[in-house]
Amino acid sequence: MELMRLAVIYIHLLACCVAIGLVFASDAAMVKDLLKGGVSSGHDNEHMASLQKSVANALLFLWLTGAAIIGIDYIEKGMTYFNNPKLHAKVIIVLLLTFNGMLLHRYVLPALMKAGSLLDLKVGVRMFALFAGALSGVSWLYAAMLGVGRPLAWKYSLTELLLAYPLLIVLGFALMVALTQWARGRRMSVAAQPGPWMLAGIHAR
């Protein structure tokens, strides 16, 4: 049983690593686009669809392997295993992550593919996209931290385990809003500058 549990945990960690890598590679590309003034360089429709499918598959593997780990631990430890606050925290975060992923899939990604850039989204959609992105990034990292944090089990209450979670989401959202506003200002200032043809006309006069 121990070897089986080890094998399932290994697959679980691989799926988590793949998902985190894909999410943060996409986030890094989006931040790079914002620093360049919102000119998209890698968020074409085919890329976004492939990313969406890969993350969804990784999340499915996480659910399946996570459920298998819970089943194995239940067989070994009985019903007392379900009283572990760390388990409750992980389930809550994964549920939020799954629901957030469904919203991203249904609303944010189609709007982003249609607009072509985060800066071209309507204000309400853009704010929702930024919040959903912050929730996604923080949730993946927080879930991974709880997954490897064996000393946290039974030592802290659910409230203590999740205390930093909403604070990190708010911080991530605020940073992305600030970066987006800076990128919009930079784009507007560049657009307001006279082009070479305008300067040539001024000099001709």
Q: Of how many residues is the chain composed?
A: 205
Question: What CA–CA distance (Å, rounded) separates 38 from 119?
Answer: 6
Least confident of 10-24, 69-83, 104-118, 129-143: 104-118
User: What pLDDT, on a 0 to 100 scale, did the predictor assign at position 38?
Assistant: 54
User: What pLDDT, on a 0 to 100 scale, did the predictor assign at position 93?
Assistant: 93
Single-letter amino acid code for the residue at 184? R
Q: Tell me the C-alpha to C-alpha distance, in Å, between residue 194 and each of 128, 185, 187, 188, 189.
A: 34, 16, 13, 12, 10
User: What pLDDT, on a 0 to 100 scale, did the predictor assign at position 205?
Assistant: 54
Between 116 and 197, the more confident residue is 116
User: What pLDDT, on a 0 to 100 scale, did the predictor assign at position 193?
Assistant: 61
Written as six digits, the tokens of 200 are 């040539």
User: What pLDDT, on a 0 to 100 scale, did the predictor assign at position 201?
Assistant: 53
Q: Residue 131's pLDDT band (boundaries 50, 70, 90)?
A: very high
Between 204 and 111, the more confident residue is 111
Q: Residue 197's pLDDT band (boundaries 50, 70, 90)?
A: very low
Q: Tokens 């572990």 appear where?
A: 84
| 67 three-state secondary structure | helix
User: In this predicted model, what pLDDT tens digit does every residue of 35-76 receive, in sequence order?
Assistant: 776 555 444 566 666 677 777 888 888 889 889 989 998 888
Q: Of 187, 191, 194, which is closest to residue 33 (Cα–Cα)?
A: 187
